[in-house]
Amino acid sequence: MIELSNLCLLLVILINFFTLGSARLVACIRAVALQGALISLLPCLAHGISGHTLMLFGSAFAFKGVFIPWLLLRAIREVRIRREVEAIIGFVPTLIIGAMLTAGAFIFADFLPLFPEHQGGLYVPTSLATLFAGFMLLMSRRKAITQVLGYLMLENGIFIFGMLLTEAMPLMVEAGVLLDLLVGIFVMGIVINQINREFSSVDTARLSALKE
């Protein structure tokens, strides 16, 4: 079980790198969907199979792995964009910064005053690394879709951190978080369409320019 969950967490980190380094939006969305599917497995792997963890698995898989990616894929089909053209920070620099943040997360996690059973595991560093990668994506990209992806990755990181205390976390809280996320994605989808209609591109930098 521990081996399997470690494998999942490693794949999550590799997907972080991939999303930071890739310019293709469809590939990025699929990667984040895969990441969502992987982390939805974690409750079962970390705490054994029970009604509670199965519910968590089902809801997280349905939302993070299937529904939200489907919404995003539909959104980019409507506004006809394929790739992130000009990132604010280039792809290689974001990759390098992302790797440094990941290494930093590993070092930082060793200094945290955690419970002994959580010390040395991969959960805390992976969740921090995913959080940072989400932040990087939010900061360094111009397209609203990639920013939504960054937001999703941020939430994935929080979800992984929540794994440490699933037993204490009521299902309602998790359901509320997922609902918030869903509403957020909906709003972003509408906003993306509006930006596209107004400026005929989805560059968020246009929003800060004043109109004559």
Partner 1 sequence: MVVDGIIHLVLLLVFAPLLQGVITRTKALFAGRTGAPLLQPYYDLARLWRKGFVLSRTTTWVFLAGPVVGVAVPILASLLLPFGGLRAPVSFEGDLILFVYLFALSRFFVASAALDTGSSFEGMGAAREVTFSCLAEPTVLFSLIVLARLSGGLSLGGLLGPGLNAAWITAAAPLGLIVVCLFVVLLVENSRIPFDDPNTHLELTMIHEVMVLDHSGPALGMVLYGSALKLMVLGSVIVRLALPLQTGYRFSDALVYLAGLILLAVLIGIVESTMARLRLVRVPQVLIGTMLISIFALVLVLR
Cβ atoms of 201 and 209 closer than 8 Å = no
Stretch that binds partner 1, among 14-22, 111-119, 158-166, 181-189 (CB under 8 A): 14-22
Stretch that binds partner 1, among 9-17, 40-48, 136-144, 180-188 (CB under 8 A): 9-17
Cβ 114 to partner 1 shortest distance, Å: 14
Window 125-154: residues binding partner 1 (CB under 8 A) = none
Count residues binding partner 1 (CB under 8 A). Answer: 19
Residue in 120, 180, 183, 194 binding partner 1, rule: CB under 8 A: 120
CA distances from 86 to 92, 104, 142, 148 (A): 13, 27, 7, 17
CA triple 103-106-107, angle to 5 deg: 90
Window 58-117: residues binding partner 1 (CB under 8 A) = 91-92, 95-96, 98-99, 102-103, 106, 110
Of 110 and 167, the one with the shorter C-beta distance to partner 1 is: 110
* Binding residues for partner 1 (CB under 8 A): 3, 6-7, 10, 13-14, 17, 21, 91-92, 95-96, 98-99, 102-103, 106, 110, 120
